[in-house]
Chains A and B, each alone.
Chain A
Amino acid sequence: MNEEQVKRQLLDMILEAQDIEFAKKSNVLNTRAVVANDKVASFISAALNYYQLVNNKTLDGVIDIASIIEEVYASLTDELQQEAGEHYIDKGFEIVEETKKEAQQIEALGASLKTVISTSNQLFKEINSLSLAPSSLDTQKRIAELQEDFRYASSGMVNIREQIIAAKNRMNGFVLEKIKEEMEFMERAAMNSRVGTEYEVVEGKKVLLNDYREYQDLLVLSKILNNVKDNDDMVLVDNIVAVNPIQVDSVKGLLEGITLFGFVKPLPKEEVKEEKINDKLIKEISEYLTTLEVEDIANAQEPYYLEANDKYVLESNKEEYQNMLEILRILNKGNNSLNRLVPVWGGMAHVEFVDKERLELLLDKSKRYKDKNPDRLMLRENRELAIELEEYLGKLGEKKKSATLNSEIARTSDGRYEVLGEDLEEANTIIEIINMLKTREANLINVYGIANVSASNIPKFKDLVQKTKYFSAKVPQAKEGIVEQVERSEMPTLEDPKPSFSEPTPIAEEPKKEVKTEEKDVKPEVGLVPVVSDEEPILESDDTKEKGKIRKLTKDKAKDFFRNHKREIAIIGLAAAAMLMAPTVMQSVAVAASCTAAKFPATAGVMNVINTGLSAVSNLSFVNGTLYNAAGIPLTYQIAATNFWPAVGAATAKVAALGAGCFIGVKAIDSMEYADTELRDGTRITVRDRILDSIEALKSSRPIEFLAGLKDSIVEKFSNNNSDVIEDVPSEEMASDVVEPSILPPDNPIPVTLGTLPGQEPVDPQQTPERIKEVEEISDEISKNLGAQLQQEMAEAASAQLASQLKGDGPIEEKKEQTLTGELPSPQMLHDAAGDKYISVLASYADSYLADTMPAGFNIEALKQSIRDKIGDIQHRLDAGVVDKNNIDILMQQQAELRGKLDAIEARGRGI
C-alpha cells in the first residue's frame, strides 16, 4: 500500500466512527483519534505504517506509539476539514442544480402573471366604463365580449398561480429534505458523542453545543419554508427557495448564516486566462519578430542593435522590426482597453479608434502584411474586372463592323467607342460601372460576387449591373438570404405550435450550394450570393394551374417606380397578409413575448415598440395579441385591407409587417435553448443572429420618426406617381398633412391623435376655417372610401384632433362652430381619450376649460374622472413594470402634466 492508500484507510476509519454511537467507538490509546472499537488495532497498525512512509524511515527500538498516533491524527485533521468543506460544497451545488429549473420557471411564470394581471385590470376597467355608458345593443355586445375575455384572463391567472405554487413546492421541498438530512446528521453527532460532551436540547433533540446555533437556524428556516402561504406573492431568494415577501429578510439572514447554504452561492470562478481579441495577431507578429532577429551577430551583415528590447536585426529589417513593435504596442493597448474598439482591415485587428489610422498605415507599410489589406485585394479585383469590361466594350465596338445600312451607330457617353444603337445603353451602363470600379474607397463590400463597392454605392451598383446583359447571369435570381437559411434550418410551418429549431450551424460549416457563374466563383457572402435556379419540369396541367411566361418590365415609368419603391410595394402586401394572420397567429406574439421575457428581455421591448408605432399612426392596438380598432372591434383582414391604401393605413400596415417579423424572431428565440448572453456574444452569423439583429435594430430605432418618413414617401409616391392607378389614394390635402421627419421632436415619440404625427405644427388660428374645410374634405373622402368601422374611427379621431388644436383664441361661439361635429365631448369620447394616444386631447380639453373656452354645459366632472383614470392607468403600467424603459420618463412627464392640469381644474372649482 502506498502513502495515499494508507491515508485513505485512516481517514475512512475516523469518518466511520463519526456515525456510530459512543459505546461502540474508542479513543485510540487516549489520543484524539476516535475509531470503532473493532478498528483500534487496525488504526494503530495503519498509523505506524503511514508515519514510516511519510517520514521515509523505519521504526525500531523504543517508540512512543501514542505520540506517533497523535502526530498522524494531527496531520490528517487538515484533510478532514477539507473533506467536510467538500461535503458542503457538494451539497450546495446539488441544491443549486436541483432548484435551478424551478427558479427559472417561477421567474418566467411571474412575468406572465404580471402581463395577465395587467390585461385583466384593463378589461375590468373597460367593462366598468362601458357599463356606465348609454346602453345600446352594440355596448351590450361589447360588454359580453369583454366579460368573456376577462373570464379567460382570470382562468389563465389561476392556471399560472397553480403552476407557480407547484414549482415552489418542488423547490422548497427539496431544500427541506436537505435541511432534514443536515439536522439528523447533527443529532447523530450529539448522540454519538462521548460522555461529558456539552450539548443543548432543542425541541427534545440533543445537539452538540458547537452545532447548536446552526441547528436552531435550520429549524427556523424549515418552519418558515413549511409556512409559505400559497395565496400570497412569491419571491425567489438566492434562486433556491421561494417565500412570501414578508419572509424574505428572515430567510436571507438565515441562508447567509447556515454553513450548508454558504456554499450555495457560486464559488468565484478560477482565474482562466481569457483569450483577448488581438491575441492571435500578437502571437503571429511575435513569431515573425523572432525570424527578423539575428542570433549570429558575428556573421551577420550590418547587424543593428535595438536597445529597446536588446535584440539585433539586419539594417534592412530595422524599419520593419520597429514597425512591428509599434503594431504590437497598439494591439496590446487594444487588448487592455476599456474603450470601444474598432475593427481594422476587415476585423484582422481591433484597436481604439485613435489608433486605427496609424495601425492601418503601419500594416500597409509592412512587408509581411501589406498584401493582406482586404481593401487592397478588393481594389485589385475591381481593377481586373474593369480591364475585363473594357475588353467587353471593345467587343461591342467591333460589332459595328457587322452593321448594315439600316443600323444605327452611336457613340458612348465617354466618347471612346462607337457601338450599335441597340448596344448603346449596355455600353454606357458598363462605362458607369467601370468608373465606379476605379474609385478608390475603403471598407468595400462584395456585391453579387461581381465586384467590391462601398456601402453607399451598393444600391447604385446593383441597379447598374441589373441593367446589363453582361452580368445577367450573375445577378441573383433569388436571394440567398434569410429565406433559404431558414428553410435550411428546417423551420417548421406555423402549424407547429411549438417550433423547434435545430442547433445553429455556423455559415462556414454549412454545405455550400454550388454556385456557377461564367467568369469565376462567387464569394459565399450571405444575402449576396447569386443562386442559379435549375430549370424544372412543367406541372401536370389542371384547372387550378395556369401557364404563362416571364418577361421584363418594359415601361420606364413602371421600371422607375418599382426600382424606387419596391420595398414599400412588397411590405404593404405582406402587411395585409400579416393582418390576416393577426387574430390567430399573432396572438402567439404576446404569449411568446411574455414567456420569453425572462430569458430574452428584448421581446417585451419589441411589443412596446409595435404598440407605440401602432398608436402613433392609428387607433389600432394590440390587446392579448389581437388587433383592435378604437371601438374595440377586432380587426379582420377585410377592414385592414380597406384601410391599407391610405397613407395612415399604409404606415399602420408597415408596423404590422414589422410585427410579423418580430413574430418570427420571438418564435425563433423562444425555441432556442440558448442563454441571452450566448446569443449576444456569439460570433457565428446564423439566421437567428440576423433576426436578433433586426429586433435589436427595431428596438433601438425611433420607430415613430421612421414611420413618419415612410408615410411621407408613400403619400408622395401615390399622389405624384400613381394617382391614376390606385383608387384609394390619399388626396392632396391628406398629403399636406404629412410632417417632414426632420421637424419631429427627437425625444418625444409619444403619439398624439389619429392621422397626426408627433411634432405636427399646431394650426394657425388665422387659418382655422381652411383647416376645418380641409379636415372635412378628408373626412368626406374617408366616408367615400372606407368601411363603416373605419369611417367612424377616423372621423372621431379627426374631430378629436381638431378639438385638440383649437386653443383659446377667439370668442366661444366661434369655437363651437369650429368643432367638427358641433357636439360636446361625450363620455365615450372622454373614455377614448383615456387611451395612450389621447393624452394630449385630455390636456387640451383641460386647457380649454381653464381658458374658459369650453362651451357652457361642458361636463367637467367627466373630464376630471378621465384625467384621474389616465393618471391611474399610467401609474398602474409603471408599477406593473410593463413599460419599456425608454418610455418611462416620457410617461412620468405626461402623468405629471395631467396631475398639474387636474390640480388646476380643481383649484378653479374651489375658486382659487
Chain B
Amino acid sequence: MEEGSVLSLASGKEYLILDVITLKDEKYLYCVQIDEEEMPTKEYKYFKSRGNDDEVEVEEVKDKEIVNALTTLFTANNLVDVTNEEQAA
C-alpha cells in the first residue's frame, strides 16, 4: 500500500494511491479513481484501510471532521515539497 500503486476493488473500481498517512493507528489512503487506461479521473476519495497488499479492506471516509483533518495533513505533506522544490525561483 504505497504511493503510486493501484487499489483495485471488488466492485471493479480502481484507484491510484496518491498518499498514505497513519492517524491514530488507522491507515488512510488518498486516492484518485483511474479509468481503464489507468489515467486519473476527477473522482478523489479518502479511504480508511486495513490489511495488506494481497487482501485489503477499505472504507470511504465521509466524516467531515476526519475529511478536514486529512485534507490539512495531506496538504501539509504536499505543501512542504512544493515550497521547497518549486518555489525557489
Contacts and interface: CB of A to CB of B under 8 A. Distances in A.
Contact of A554 (B38, B53, B87): B38
A658 B55 CA distance: 35
Contacts of B57: 538-539, 541, 545-548
B33 to A, nearest CB: 10
B86 to A, nearest CB: 7
A523 interface: no
Contacts of A660: 71-72, 75, 79
Interface in A485-537: 486-487, 491, 493-495, 527, 533, 535-537
A487 B68 contact: no
Contact of A657 (B39, B79, B80): B79
Contact of A706 (B19, B39, B79, B89): B89
Given A477-B20, A558-B37, A544 B59 contact: yes
B53 to A, nearest CB: 4
A566 B39 contact: no
A157 to B, nearest CB: 29
Contact of B69 (A493, A548, A657): A493
Contact of B56 (A486, A547, A644, A645): A547
A657 B78 contact: yes
Nearest to A581: B68
B72 A664 contact: yes
A582 B76 CA distance: 16
A570 interface: yes
Contact of A482 (B24, B60, B68, B80): B80
A483 interface: yes
Given A570-B78, A574-B75, A577-B67, A553 B4 contact: yes
Interface string B49-89: 01111111111100001111101111111111111101111
Contacts of A546: 9-11, 57-59
B87 A706 contact: yes
Contacts of A722: 39-40
A548 B58 contact: yes
Given A533-B1, A725-B37, A573 B30 contact: yes
Interface stretch (A192-200, A407-415, A697-705, A887-895): A697-705
Contacts of B89: 701-702, 705-706, 709, 741
A539 B35 CA distance: 27
A487 B21 contact: yes
A585 B68 CA distance: 8
B19 A535 contact: no
Contact of B30 (A476, A494, A570, A697): A570
B22 A484 contact: yes
A735 B79 CA distance: 26
Interface string B15-41: 011111111100100101011011111
Contacts of B19: 479, 570
Nearest to A540: B57
B86 A555 contact: no
A493 B64 CA distance: 11
Contacts of A476: 2
A73 interface: no
B5 A569 contact: no
Given A550-B6, A571-B78, A645 B88 contact: no
A547 B10 CA distance: 6
A482 B16 CA distance: 22
A771 B72 CA distance: 41
Interface in A467-488: 475-479, 481-484, 486-487
A124 B65 CA distance: 35
B24 to A, nearest CB: 7
Contacts of B66: 493
Interface in A549-574: 549-555, 557-558, 561-563, 566-567, 569-571, 573-574
Given A551-B5, A551-B8, A661-B75, A725 B80 contact: no
A232 to B, nearest CB: 42
Contacts of A580: 67, 71
Given A555-B37, A701-B89, A536 B71 contact: no
A478 B76 CA distance: 15
A574 to B, nearest CB: 5
A842 interface: no
Contacts of A548: 7-10, 56-58
Q: Is the interface of B mostly helix, strand, loop or mixed?
A: mixed
B78 A550 contact: no
A122 interface: no
Contacts of A477: 1-2, 20
Interface string A441-455: 000000000000000
Interface string A686-702: 00001101100110011
B39 to A, nearest CB: 4
A484 B74 CA distance: 11
B21 A484 contact: yes
B39 A557 contact: yes
A706 B86 contact: yes
Contacts of A536: 27, 50-52
B88 to A, nearest CB: 7
A479 B41 CA distance: 24
A551 B81 CA distance: 26
B55 A549 contact: yes
Contact of B55 (A547, A567, A569): A547
Contact of A577 (B51, B71, B77): B71
A567 B21 CA distance: 16
B41 A725 contact: yes
Interface string A222-236: 000000000000000
A577 B71 CA distance: 7
Contact of A479 (B16, B38, B40, B77): B77
A571 B81 CA distance: 11
A109 to B, nearest CB: 27
B8 A549 contact: yes
A663 interface: yes
A554 B58 CA distance: 22
Given A483-B76, A536-B51, A553 B16 contact: yes
A578 interface: yes
Contact of A694 (B6, B10, B83): B83
A726 B22 contact: no
A538 B50 contact: yes
Contacts of B24: 487
Interface of B: 1-11, 16-24, 27, 30, 32, 34-35, 37-42, 44, 50-60, 65-69, 71-84, 86-89
18 contacts: A482-B76, A483-B22, A484-B21, A487-B22, A487-B23, A487-B24, A495-B65, A538-B51, A539-B51, A546-B58, A547-B57, A561-B39, A562-B16, A570-B78, A694-B80, A710-B86, A722-B39, A722-B40
Given A660-B75, A709-B89, 11 more contacts: A477-B20, A494-B69, A537-B51, A550-B17, A553-B4, A569-B40, A580-B71, A581-B68, A645-B42, A658-B82, A694-B76
Interface of A: 466, 475-479, 481-484, 486-487, 491, 493-495, 527, 533, 535-539, 541, 544-555, 557-558, 561-563, 566-567, 569-571, 573-574, 576-578, 580-581, 585, 641, 644-645, 657-658, 660-661, 663-664, 690-691, 693-694, 697-698, 701-703, 705-706, 709-710, 722, 725-726, 728, 741
* 3 A-B pairs closest in CB distance: A661-B79, A558-B38, A573-B44
